[in-house]
Amino acid sequence: MSISRRVLSLSKTKDGGDKDTTETRIPIGIFDVQLPARQFFVHHKVAEVGDVSLTTEFLLRLLYSADGIKEDAAALFFGFNATEMAYVVKDAETRAYISRSEGRMWLTDAGQALFKEGDKPQIYDVVKRMEKVGFDLLSLAPCDRDYQSDFERALPELPIRSVDLAANASKYVPESFRRFYKELSNRKDKDAADLLKRALYSVDEVTPSDRFSSIVSFVAMANVRRPGEPEPFLEAWRMGHELSDRDQVVHGIGEFLESLRTSKTPEDANAFDVLTDFAPEYLKEYVNKSGFAALRYFKEITGRAGELRSDRQTVGILGALYQPENIERISTAIGYTKERAIGRDVAFIWVVPNQPTWGASRSFLTLIEKLAQEGILSDGSGKAPPRVPIVVGNEKPSRHLARALPATYARPQNGSIPSSLEILLVPGRVVAITVHAPITESRGFPVPMGVLSFDAAIVRRVHHYLTLQLPSKLPRYGGADWFELENCLEWIEQAAIQPDQEQLST
């Protein structure tokens, strides 16, 4: 990975200006990853500063050793210019610690009284303290330890970049503690006046404690020129100088994105064929003799909003379905189908692509909850049982998926469904189909790209496809039971989707 990888900071577009689509950045992935960290007991001393600055203290110490010294000689001793010397002398004189006459300075009785126990004035107290502080093991920057759910603890972890730093972190913590002392103090003590009176005096001993992990949230952003080379957008986690202080974490995230690159396979072309079979009318202009024009479609979607309406029942989508903007679109699509006739609405089926980091975001849980509840009709008793998630993969589910879902289901490993194809179906109502594949080069980031639709014809085609490609009794992964998929996928003509009449009238 190149060390010069950029971290995106998005600027706002000017009102009234035309967008340059070649520079338009669009989210194509959203991730939460674990950042390895460790807590340390840091024994240190803090100087509780009194009424004078340390510079004034040093002037008093000089006069205690050489009372009556000329002001010019004192300025030369400290390396001060005339302005700086005048400021220090005025501060001490105003407090009646020194007196001045004919260019010389003397300690007053009050100044002499400060030196009770030797040649050091008792202007501040040195206090011993011990803090339990967390530091990440990539940049050795402050890192908070927060409660995490089982799902969060199972998210993928950024690899250690320096084995020496991780193994011998106690040796490097004193320098980091000094560097970030102000930041650490700001977290603990919000009183600005007290902070100004406190300074780190020394770091005496560091003892390692528990290992833990913190979550880093980021979005993968891409543009038309380099769709296969997304860059991390980290403003949900840190901004500005905080990112500069954590450059090793930033590089680790860059390497994480690099590791997700895949090579094009014949299955990708098959997946695009399936996509175009589902929505032939919508995608017909992107199909040519060579197959699906993925780059042209990517450019088109990047340059338009893709908002659903009652008369626009199918739109193109980019990025993970659980990105916030796509969650909103899916919710809108379900809303347009709430006036459907009676049909089975007990589950939603999610055929997932063969990717280990798919679903590695807390927003995945948000979409799961939305799909379970959105548009559910009451059964007459006033209760609305949620839809059950039927997530279907072709291999052992990732740890985070196993923690997020009550069960996962296995599809046949016979290539009947291309491994890069993703299908989310709310039976009888809404479907989202995306293909996760490199767009331009033979190897690149697998950009999720496809359509979202509540068009009855498209939804029915997906019903038919899944009925043919999946077993009627879908086996639960790691269990002896199954889900009766056949009942869920049976197409009921009366349940053909009708847009909400109120929305149509608007």
User: Per residue in 457-487, pLDDT tens?
Assistant: 999 999 999 999 999 999 999 888 899 998 8
**Are 68 and 165 in the same domain?**
no
**Are 308 and 404 in the same domain?**
yes
CATH number, domain with residue 487: 3.30.870.10
pLDDT for 11: 43
**Are 65 and 179 in the same domain?**
no
Between residues 249 and 6, which one has the greater pLDDT?
Answer: 249
**Are 425 and 329 in the same domain?**
yes
Q: Mean of the pLDDT values across residues 190-203?
A: 65
**pLDDT beyond 80 at 501:** no
User: Domain boundary at 67, 88, 123, which?
Assistant: 123
Q: Which residues contact 175 (CB under 8 A, 6 or more apart)?
A: none
Alpha carbons within 13 angstroms on the beta-carbon side of residue 206 total 20
Q: What pLDDT digit, counting tens, does each position of 414-462 carry?
A: 888 999 999 999 999 999 999 999 998 789 999 999 999 999 999 999 9
For residue 232, which phi and psi values (nearest 5 degrees)? -75, 135
The kind and range of the H/E element at 367 are helix 362-373
Chain mean pLDDT for the chain: 87
**Are 447 and 493 in the same domain?**
yes
CATH number, domain with residue 68: 1.10.10.10
Q: How far apart are CA 165 and CA 433, in angstroms?
A: 44
User: Domain boundary at 77, 94, 123, which?
Assistant: 123
Indicate whether 2 belongs to any domain.
no
Question: What is the band of 236 on the pLDDT scale with cuts at 50, 70, 90?
Answer: very high
Indicate whether 19 belongs to any domain.
no
Indicate whether 231 belongs to any domain.
no
Q: Which residues contact 179 (CB under 8 A, 6 or more apart)?
A: none
pLDDT for 492: 74
**Are 422 and 371 in the same domain?**
yes
**Range(s) of the domain holding residue 57:** 51-123
**pLDDT beyond 60 at 323:** yes
Q: Mean of the pLDDT values across residues 269-297?
A: 94
Q: What pLDDT digit, counting tens, does each position of 120-139 carry?
A: 676 666 789 999 999 999 99
**Are 151 and 90 in the same domain?**
no
Q: What pLDDT digit, counting tens, does each position of 155-194 carry?
A: 999 999 999 999 999 999 999 999 999 888 877 655 544 5
Lowest average pLDDT, out of 12-21, 231-240, 251-260, goes to: 12-21
**Are 57 and 184 in the same domain?**
no
**Are 293 and 167 in the same domain?**
no
Question: What is the band of 1 on the pLDDT scale with cuts at 50, 70, 90?
Answer: very low
**pLDDT beyond 70 at 195:** no
Indicate whether 224 belongs to any domain.
no
Indicate whether 192 belongs to any domain.
yes
Lowest average pLDDT, out of 51-60, 160-169, 384-393, goes to: 51-60
**pLDDT beyond 80 at 410:** yes
Domain count, the chain: 3
Between residues 380 and 460, which one has the greater pLDDT?
Answer: 460
**Are 344 and 433 in the same domain?**
yes
User: Domain boundary at 123, 152, 182, which?
Assistant: 123
Question: What is the band of 496 on the pLDDT scale with cuts at 50, 70, 90?
Answer: very low
What percentage of the chain reaches a pLDDT higher than 70? 86
Q: How far apart are CA 409 and CA 402, in angstroms?
A: 11
Question: What is the band of 394 on the pLDDT scale with cuts at 50, 70, 90?
Answer: confident
pTM score: 0.79
**Are 185 and 310 in the same domain?**
no
**Are 148 and 278 in the same domain?**
no
Residue labelled with tokens 């190897």: 443
Indicate whether 302 belongs to any domain.
yes
| Pair 262, 446: CB distance under 8 Å | yes
Question: What is the band of 505 on the pLDDT scale with cuts at 50, 70, 90?
Answer: very low
| Structure token digits, residue 379 | 């059964």
pLDDT for 287: 93
Question: What is the band of 20 on the pLDDT scale with cuts at 50, 70, 90?
Answer: low
The kind and range of the H/E element at 61 are helix 54-65
pLDDT for 342: 47
Indicate whether 157 belongs to any domain.
yes
pLDDT for 179: 93
Indicate whether 387 belongs to any domain.
yes
